[in-house]
Structure 1
Amino acid sequence: MGVLDVVIIGGGPIGIACGLEAKKKGLNYLILEKGPIVNSLYNYPVNMQFFSSSEKLEIDEIPFISNEAKPRRSEALEYYRRITTSNKLHINLFEKVTKVSKTANEFTIISDKNTYKSNNVVIATGFYDIPNTLNILGENLPKVSHYYNDPHFYAGQKLAIIGASNSAIDAGLECYRKGAEVTLIIRGEEVGQRVKYWVRPDIINRIKEGSIKAFYNSNVKEILEDKIVINTKNGEKTIQNDFVLALTGYKPNFTFLEKIGVEFSNDDKRIPTYNEETMETNVKGVYLAGVICGGMETHKWFIENSRIHAKIIVEAILNKN
């Protein structure tokens, strides 16, 4: 294979966009994805509906046609899969990158299957792989999950959902409608303001009528086999429980970036250092694309406003060459 012009780590929508742009500009590229095509989207809940409209999820001006204005997970999987296969992108699936090192102006990329040499590296790994943990007793019990998939699993069960973002609220409504007894534990004083505008009134009304229970200004103190202990504004409360969904958000793989040498802001946001005009980090030849650019501010970047990163990065590589 020789020395590649660029290795793209991450085969999500933005990684695919980078591959399309690299191919268009004649670069010798390779995308490495640790799971299936658009692995993060594949692991979204089965009934998930995007906040963005289909045209805002398009990459490389390839039309995205969906049944509704706001597409669902299944439609997005089909769209990005067809783009990948019809354009015959060079992408290795189920191949996890374990190490990236640099000698002079050349990078060595080691995966669990192979070793590659490249002049440039694009990191587009998103943030969905590492959940924000609660760090409480019982968090590692089998009944606790940081990921939600299908509401059918929780039918007839006492389900506690920790969080007040889109993922938590969607899960709460879906599971309630499939017969779960849902209790929301919300750290703030209300349902999150960023919850989809057509969903927020629904959850508020379900809480008001008592169909879904909610503890505001509260947090879970401990998780036991058949109950959970909650710190509420009115004191400690213990409730019966079968399952817990701790949907408290996710974060980028900071350790992976640190080992490459990428620097971060000196605050809790942990925003990586990069040039906004080129997307190049403090490590020359290493570029960031997509949501990973926001550090802990995972709401700052998403598909519709980071798809431009592909053109910026490839143009920067060409200018450097």
Structure 2
Amino acid sequence: MTTPTSADSDRSTSGAYVTAGAEFDRDMDYIPDRITRDSDQWPVEPGRYRLVAAKACPWANRAIIVRQLLGLEDVISLGLAGPTHDRRSWTFDLDPGGVDPVLGYERLQEAYLARFPDYPKGITVPAMVDVPTKQVVTNDFPWITHDLFFEWQEFHRPDAPNLWPDDVREEMETVMQRIFTEVNNGVYRCGFAGSQETYEAAYERLWTALDWLEERLADRRYLMGDAITEADVRLFTTLARFDAVYHGHFKCNRNKLTEMPNLWGYARDLFQTPGFGDNTDFEQIKAHYYVVQTDINPTQIVPQGPDPAVWLTPHGREGL
């Protein structure tokens, strides 16, 4: 396992670190390329690309889940980085010899530098890598899952869910935007706040959004109704980390997820759906946050709890 050596370790890979007196501001400037059916440079082509991700990372976890939900496992290969990394890059320390068996790389950074020798920004997951050239194509995580649905439809399994239904598309975009700014990124805004004032403002925003979601899920099984959509994938990866990490480590501690009946039932419902729970690894999740983010946890001590068995208890949401 690669262990970071300083508080700078998380900066090159996720852009998350504490700046005294400042509000956390996520850098959303990613490689803008996309893999599409009509692209000359990066066309949709089975077997050509490798999704490099990490089960520890919520942004990457989205892509892993969507790939499985759509049945693209035999079309786009998956490389998994370990949960901890140093200041340079995510590493393939889960693989024999610490080398990705398809790319032959020890570090995801090598794929970035193969295309951009002077790449100046963080080495992030998920990343789509072109296997023939071993070069990164894109790390723009919202577009990666979007395009897995829209551009790779020819290769979806026959009963793949419609993650972007036309009849609720406009509302779903609004819901997802609020989830991103207030919840997905909101927990980071709390955890990496540089002052008491910025922390308290972030805390209020987060819990306002979580209370809104608790109410929204009172009379519907999923965020957009009776079927799973992209919005559910995006919310789930934050909820899965809430009690294990965000409640304590990020000081999002008004209450636990397990104390919010609708959100907790909803989260377990998704966890028990193929593609969600089987791609959720609580030990990797805890190792990543508590070991890598030394700004917040300088001792790098990883907590023992909570017990993941609670995720398998009945949720009772089938009747909604």
| TM-score, scaled to structure 1 | 0.27
Task: Report which structure shows greater RCO (CA 8 Å, sep ≥6).
Answer: 2
Q: Counting strand residues as a fraction of each chain, which structure ranks higher?
A: 1
CA radius of gyration, larger in: 1
Q: Counting helix residues as a fraction of each chain, which structure ranks higher?
A: 2
